[in-house]
Structure 1
Amino acid sequence: MDLSQTLLQLEQRLLSQAVRRDADEISRLIADDFREFGASGGIWTKADLIEQLPQQAFVQRTISQFTVKPLSEHTALVTYHCHNTQADSLRSSIWRKQGERWQMVFHQGTRIPTPL
């Protein structure tokens, strides 16, 4: 599997209901030094995600326009459009490979304004 497919699958897993309800799986996919700037304006850490994601109401999301830009041998930037029934957003994540496992170290969401 190539890098783009691997990271797309990881992003999709993090958007899935099963993973969002599973604190252990969130912990495996998210790096200890993780930081997120959310589309809502909030700032999140790994501990925040582990505590709060399983409690949030699930919203089905889809990904389009997915791209990967390698930053080094063991890091990559992904960008994509995220779609759901509430709002669309632009997303970016930085993934770092440690050993044989990729973990997300940074994520940012920016809402796309709805046309008037």
Structure 2
Amino acid sequence: MELKEHIRQLEEKLLTAEVRASRTELKKILADEFFEFGSSGRVLYKNDEMESGIGIIKAKLSDFDIHPLSDNIVLATYRTFNERTNQHALRSSIWKQVEGDWKMVFHQGTKTGPSI
């Protein structure tokens, strides 16, 4: 599978209620050192604040792309539309290959208006 499609699938998986509500599933995808600057303005850390999962959203992903930073690190960029809140966001994630698996190290969401 092409790397871009694989990372997109991981990003889409992180939007599902099943993964967002499961500490076990989150641990499979998020690196131990993971942290996030959320579109809510909160800073989240994997080991501190995700014991019961992360908030459930209903979002669609668009304009997805990846930007290689090294052989085993990529930056993913995309837009989301949260159908529950009618909120658009620009998103970026840093993914790192760890022992053969791609893990998210960092994520940022920034609220925005609809794309033109």
Unpaired stretches in structure 1, ≥5 consecutive residues: none
TM-score by length of 1: 0.90
Structure 1: 4+ residue segments shifted above 4 A: none
Cα RMSD over matched residues?
1.4
2:42 corresponds to which residue?
42
If each structure's helix is expressed as a fraction of its own residues, which one has the higher value? 1
Unpaired stretches in structure 2, ≥5 consecutive residues: none
2:94 corresponds to which residue?
94
Given that 1:26 and 1:49 are in contact with CA atoms closer than 8 Å, whether structure 2 keeps it comes out as: no
Given that 1:59 and 1:84 are in contact with CA atoms closer than 8 Å, whether structure 2 keeps it comes out as: yes
**Identity %, equivalent residues:** 39
Deviation at 1:50, TM superposition (A): 2.7
Find the residue that maps to 1:15 and give its secondary structure: coil
CA distance in 2, matches of 1:90, 1:52: 25
2:13 corresponds to which residue?
13
Find the residue that maps to 2:53 and give its secondary structure: helix
If each structure's strand is expressed as a fraction of its own residues, which one has the higher value? 2
Matches within 5 A, 1:1-116: 1-48=1-48, 50-53=50-53, 56=55, 58-85=56-83, 86=85, 87-113=87-113
Residues matched between the structures, number: 112
